[in-house]
Amino acid sequence: MTPQAHRPGSPQRERIDGGWEMCATAPGRFSEPGPLAEIPPDQWLKAPTLGPAADQLRALKLWSLDGPPRRFDADDWWYRVEFERPDLHPAEELWLGFDGLATVADVWLNGQLLMRSTSMFVAHEHSVRHLLKPGTNQLVLRFHSLDALLAAKRPRPRWRAPMVANQQLRWTRTTLLGRTPGWSPPAAVVGPTKDIWWERRSGPRVTLSTLRSTVEPDATGKVAVSCLLQLGADQSLDRMELEVTRDGVVQRSPMQDDANAGYSGAVSITDPALWWPHTHGEPALYQVRVRVFLRGVSEPLVTELGSTGFRTLQLDTSDGRFALRVNGVPVFCRGACWTPLDVVSLRATPEATHDAVAQARDAGMNMLRVGGSMVYEEAAFFDGCDSLGVLVWQEFMFANMDYPEQDGAFMADVHTEVQQQLQAWQGRPSLAVLCGNSEGEQQAAMWGASRELWSPPLFHTTLRERVNEALPDVPYWPSSAHGGAFPHQGNVGTTSYYGVGAYLRAPEDARRCELKFATECLAFANVPDERTVARMPGGHGLRMHHPQWKERSPRDLNAGWDFEDVRDHYLSRLFRVDPVACRTVDHERYLALSRVVTGELMAGAFAEWRRPGSGCGGALVWFLRDLWAGAGWGLVDDTGLPKACFYALRRALQPVAVAITDEGNNGLYAHVINEPAEALTATLEITLHGPADSRVGQTRQVLRLPGRGQQSVALAEGLEGFSDLSYAYRFGQPGVTLVHASLCAADGAVLGEAFHFPTGLPSLVRAEVGLTATLETTRAELLVASTGLAQHVHIALDGYTVSDNDFHLAPGSQRRIALKRNGTQAPKGQVWALNADRPVAILVAP
């Protein structure tokens, strides 16, 4: 957390985000600002704001992801801006700061070289008052061509990372986004990625050193802070206080002078409200601030240190497990891998970030992973996760490659990067795991490197020691795939699980693999909503085999398949449809089937992993959000519009849920989960349907689950006689074609549903299923009903956002879908069941 001082009349930090000009030049054409005068003025572009080159060209409509690609790493990029020297008091210093420069950058102030930055992950600040001149000052930045830098001869890696086109990227501390052609858009980030600012500094000024919040052995909450204090020449300290507040209750404690180490203090709170992931309780937060009282000054200087929370973390790795306990309670961690909301600028507003985290939270996710192939997120991301109760698996920005940890200059950047990040992550209750890298061990092993190379000291010793020292309450894990006889062994430690997925294993492999924890899994080319398809080049006329569509389909470099082939494999298996034949004669039908098949696989896998008998500690789907419009790995598209698979997971991941698993000759089991602390009394209703949607059986059972409780129920228990619910014995034609489980609260509210098709998902289209839909505008609800089975009901409604979509309706049932207005257009739309031959118009009622 970055401390910000507040006092009457104190000037704020000012961003230098206007007046910039930029220009691309051949690599090495200019090495300093003076000769830039040779460039004609019309070749300098007036940047709308401060940001990477691609972001600025996009804003100027000179480039876009939908147009011809441009290699931004091929050129040197120059930025310049002029600003007026601010009025400074004699005791004031002026500091110039650079929060992120991608990647190798030189900076001049008034023609004098100020610094060189060689890592986009390191922030810099400099005292510059002595370099300023009266009136106008000029700041110039040069971003070196990365292609030119990577052309330098260096030792080869001991293993290759196939997803990276240039293996020498391992020498450079920059993001892989835009430089992995198989899955990220061609928009390499070059230029300023975060704020450039200037700030007046004078006493008093508080600088945070450490902030730790702990739950002591006696269950007392303790916030301990140490900081440095800078006073002006004419200022004298009276006292300092540490203040912790929640819900209007203020607790303070004096801070002591630690001689040359600054000031420290601690506040102890009896019986504190604990921070929980939202699935298990309230994410309680406390505000922390330091109050500085000066002699002769009535009002204190208040430095806000942000919010923190009290929670304990324990990581159980016994017997090959990877299971997280929060406040002593086992937590099944589920969610997805986070991606930047804007892959071009790598930035988003705090509001947009909060909304994206909230979308994941509302989908029942309680963990997000920031992988080592991405970028470090800004404070707004952790603010959102802290306040919304979402755990964070955070990796250092290393992925797959053989990093040169013997190189002194490289490691100097790494040490600074790690120090700054650990400082920023202090006091974050959402931070659950710190991980050294993404798939580093797995890549070495799969490429054939010898076993001793799988565990580099950088990740197994250096980073572990730094984390244990700075954040001793946060578990450290050396690599995202780690444990077992080989790093990606699924039944020991953590792994990237693609058994169901890229390795084309049967859906039953989700159980057979005995998964312990998937740091990434279930990657498919998820077909987006029709509104997303309309935004793609070619729009609705674009076909899946077209190069413009395929350009945005994820693939491994040099592989003879892509992730659409993976999806097609399972489309054939689950729906018994030939994908090639289907898309040849009925492309829209193929799109509709493709949209829902991946959600079926995901929901089925999580049903196995969440059931009471599972030894799985969690699973994170690879990509929450697409990087650009297309059939990407994301559960939602690049704007946040949900796909069918998102809704499938949203229903499967709720804190109170029911799922059905096929136990073969042992029949079907329903698994009821109650993660909140409160006990649950609910009715489990099982309805059996036969051919032509006929009802052939029904049972009801009242379940009483304790808080954090789970229960598995054999569905055959309540039946009068034997029924082959799993169609395992195959005595003649199946008598049951649909098993519908509904978990209902005492007031009749549906807490969860599950559907099982003993003979497989229906793939035939009917002439009529009896589907109707009515928009009740005053209630902001859509009432959807059906007399027959309505399979994967899809809602398309102008002017509204739906809370659920692509769901089944059991015969003779109805659902109310909550709506949120998102436009001013007149409501108009339709619903369409996958097993119906035509859509049904939505009726609008008052």
pLDDT reported for residue 9: 34
Q: Report residue 327: phi and psi, to 5°.
A: 55, 35
pLDDT, mean of residues 119-136: 96
pLDDT at 2 over 60: no
pLDDT reported for residue 465: 98
Position 7 confidence tier, pLDDT thresholds 50, 70, 90: very low
Which amino acid is it at 528? Answer: P
Looking from the CA of 190 toward its CB, the CA atoms found within 13 Å total 28
pLDDT reported for residue 719: 87
pLDDT reported for residue 442: 97
Spatial separation of the C-alpha atoms in residues 669 and 651, rounded to whole Å: 18
pLDDT in tens, 694-714: 999 999 999 999 999 999 999
Q: Where are the alpha helices (DSSP H) in 551-642?
A: 563-575, 579-585, 587-610
Position 3 confidence tier, pLDDT thresholds 50, 70, 90: very low
pLDDT reported for residue 70: 97
pLDDT in tens, 88-99: 888 889 999 999
pLDDT reported for residue 846: 76
pLDDT at 77 over 50: yes
pLDDT, mean of residues 522-535: 97
CA distances from 74 to 151, 175, 557, 789 (A): 11, 16, 21, 57
pLDDT in tens, 403-426: 999 999 999 999 999 999 999 999
**Which residues have CB under 8 Å from 243's CB, separation 6+?**
250, 251, 252, 267, 288, 289, 290, 291
pLDDT in tens, 15-58: 999 999 999 999 999 999 999 999 999 999 999 999 999 999 99
Which amino acid is it at 811? Answer: P
pLDDT in tens, 792-815: 999 999 999 999 999 999 999 999
pLDDT in tens, 351-367: 999 999 999 999 999 99
pLDDT, mean of residues 260-279: 95
Q: Report residue 45: phi and psi, to 5°.
A: -95, 135
pLDDT reported for residue 163: 93
Q: Which of the two residues, 686 and 721, has the higher pLDDT score?
A: 686
pLDDT reported for residue 202: 87
pLDDT reported for residue 808: 98
pLDDT, mean of residues 266-272: 98
pLDDT, mean of residues 286-300: 96
pLDDT, mean of residues 572-589: 96
Spatial separation of the C-alpha atoms in residues 32 and 107, rounded to whole Å: 9
Spatial separation of the C-alpha atoms in residues 15 and 11, rounded to whole Å: 12
pLDDT in tens, 446-471: 999 999 999 999 999 999 999 999 99
pLDDT, mean of residues 673-694: 96
pLDDT, mean of residues 521-550: 95
Spatial separation of the C-alpha atoms in residues 568 and 832, rounded to whole Å: 22
pLDDT reported for residue 29: 97
Closest CA to 288 of 332, 248, 242, 330: 242
State the chain's mean pLDDT as an integer.
Answer: 95
Provide Rg for the chain, Cα atoms.
29
pLDDT reported for residue 823: 80
Position 339 confidence tier, pLDDT thresholds 50, 70, 90: very high
Position 87 confidence tier, pLDDT thresholds 50, 70, 90: confident
DSSP labels, 700-731: EEEEEE-TTEEEEEEGGGGSSS---TT--S--
> In 3-state terms, what secondary structure has residue 443?
helix
Residue 497 and residue 490 in contact, taking contact as beta carbons nearer than 8 Å:
yes
**Which residues have CB under 8 Å from 429's CB, separation 6+?**
213, 275, 283, 285, 308, 309, 310, 311, 386
Spatial separation of the C-alpha atoms in residues 287 and 705, rounded to whole Å: 35
Position 720 confidence tier, pLDDT thresholds 50, 70, 90: confident
pLDDT at 597 over 50: yes
**Which residues have CB under 8 Å from 581's CB, separation 6+?**
none
Q: Which two tokens stand for residue 481?
A: 């795939």
Q: Which of the two residues, 687 and 717, has the higher pLDDT score?
A: 687
Edge-first strand order for the sheet with 45-46 is 45-46, 21-25, 76-84, 136-143, 105-109, 112-117
Residue 312 and residue 597 in contact, taking contact as beta carbons nearer than 8 Å:
no
Q: Where are the alpha helices (DSSP H) in 375-407?
A: 379-388
Q: Which of the two residues, 155 and 825, has the higher pLDDT score?
A: 155
pLDDT, mean of residues 744-769: 94
Longest dimension (CA), the chain: 95
pLDDT in tens, 201-217: 988 899 999 999 999 99
Position 11 confidence tier, pLDDT thresholds 50, 70, 90: very low
Cβ-based neighbour number of residue 66 at 10 Å: 12
Spatial separation of the C-alpha atoms in residues 142 and 33, rounded to whole Å: 9
Whole-model pTM: value is 0.97
pLDDT reported for residue 1: 37
Q: Where are the alpha helices (DSSP H) in 408-462?
A: 408-424, 440-447, 457
pLDDT at 749 over 80: yes
pLDDT at 273 over 50: yes
pLDDT at 832 over 90: yes
pLDDT in tens, 144-166: 999 999 999 999 999 999 999 89
For a pLDDT cut of 70, what percent of the chain falls above it? Answer: 99
